[in-house]
Amino acid sequence: MTAIATSGLTCAVPIATADRVQLGHGSGGKMSASLIGELFVRELHNTALAEMGDGAVVTAGAEALVVSTDSFVVSPIEFPGGDIGSLAVHGTLNDVAMMGARPLCLTAGFVLEEGLPMATLERIVASMARAAREAGVRVVAGDTKVVERGKADGLYVNTTGIGTVDPRCRPGPRGARVGDIVIVSGPIGRHGMAIMAAREGLGFESTITSDSACLVPLVERLKASGTRVHVLRDPTRGGVASALNEIAAASRVAIALDEDTLPVPDNVRAACEMLGLDPLYVANEGIMLAIVPEAHAALALETLRSDALGADARIIGRVTSTPAATVVLRTGLGGTRIVDLLPGDQLPRIC
């Protein structure tokens, strides 16, 4: 029997920085952060951009406005629980709301693929109009381009939102303080898994629907209740884990999560088990994280739960001081583990 050779230990050449854009650069993980930091912020640098919040604050005379933009490239463009049209409205309105601001209006830019069925486009636009109407916000400007067959996956949309700063409520990623409580407004993992299920190739049927929703009314309630809100963030791509990591880094704190309290619906959990995915990294489009001072936690919970959208709100952790810029999870068994930013996308695994 051959014993294991200790000489000739081998290893791969390290992969240096990528010379091309990869899918991981858009995942919301470390590659994204590094692309944004090393290229975009460096080239375009200004203080508003460097804040890296959900949106930026700009002043026009005496008026302070919030501006936020988002591009939507989801595939398939229609999925259980929503479509790219309503998603584009909800997503940008939510980003404006996460700054504590009240949305004023939206713009919408479309890139359409040659050959996209007109009936599909009509459905998407109608859905977008409905979502805007329900939110009480108008789409005031737009643009349409068409590209050749084979590009744009059917349809890409960019929406930009403008809102007015609310002096009562100016949450931001640097606002978390030691002792604060971390609350999530609803169950996690629905949107990302609904998309996965709808994608060909992984071939599973499920009852999972996207949670795509407009969070503006929920935020308005929170503001009206007098709750002091330090941070608001909607955990979209990269999931709760990525959002909390960014906040922990920006605020220079640690965030301690309790695994037992994470609200994961059964069907999401089942789908994640099958593919070896962690619900903490799965995208959400209709929930938010609220970090509030401990004294305001009960009020925050009660307020959120008084709205249908926040009915399942619960406390999932607290802000501590060490290890700095890290999210740590206490497991059901009392052990601990780090919840780190992933380099790129979470990949389904078999191991």
Binding residues for other proteins, rule: CB under 8 A, are 1-6, 8-16, 18, 20-24, 30-31, 34, 197, 201-208, 266-267, 269-271, 273-276, 323-326, 328, 331-338, 340, 342-344, 347-351
**Least distance (Å) between residue 159 CB and other proteins:** 27
**Least distance (Å) between residue 151 CB and other proteins:** 15
**Least distance (Å) between residue 332 CB and other proteins:** 5
Contact 345, 24 (CB under 8 A): yes
**CA 236, 240, 246, 248: dihedral to nearest 10 degrees?**
160
CB count within 10 Å of CB 348 equals 13
Query: By C-beta, is 165 or 328 nearer to other proteins?
Result: 328
Helix (H, G, I), strand (E, B) or coil at 186: coil
Query: By C-beta, is 22 or 59 nearer to other proteins?
Result: 22
Q: At what angle do helices 297-305 and 216-224 cross, to 10 degrees?
A: 140
**Least distance (Å) between residue 166 CB and other proteins:** 35
**Dihedrals φ, ψ of 186, to 5°?**
-170, -175
Query: By C-beta, is 10 or 46 nearer to other proteins?
Result: 10
Q: At what angle do helices 118-135 and 84-98 cross, to 10 degrees?
A: 30
Q: How far apart are CA 87 and CA 275, in angstroms?
A: 25
Query: By C-beta, is 15 or 62 nearer to other proteins?
Result: 15
Query: By C-beta, is 142 or 276 nearer to other proteins?
Result: 276
Q: How far apart are CA 90 and CA 73, in angstroms?
A: 14
**Least distance (Å) between residue 339 CB and other proteins:** 8
Query: By C-beta, is 217 or 263 nearer to other proteins?
Result: 263
Helix (H, G, I), strand (E, B) or coil at 31: helix
Query: By C-beta, is 9 or 118 nearer to other proteins?
Result: 9
**Least distance (Å) between residue 49 CB and other proteins:** 23
Contact 341, 245 (CB under 8 A): yes
Q: How far apart are CA 68 and CA 346, in angstroms?
A: 26
Q: How far apart are CA 154 and CA 145, in angstroms?
A: 12
- CA 94, 172, 62: angle at the middle one, nearest 5? 85
Which DSSP state fits 41?
I
Query: By C-beta, is 171 or 192 nearer to other proteins?
Result: 192
**Least distance (Å) between residue 201 CB and other proteins:** 6
Q: Which of 234, 348, 235, 327 is nearest to 281 (CA)?
A: 235
**Least distance (Å) between residue 132 CB and other proteins:** 33
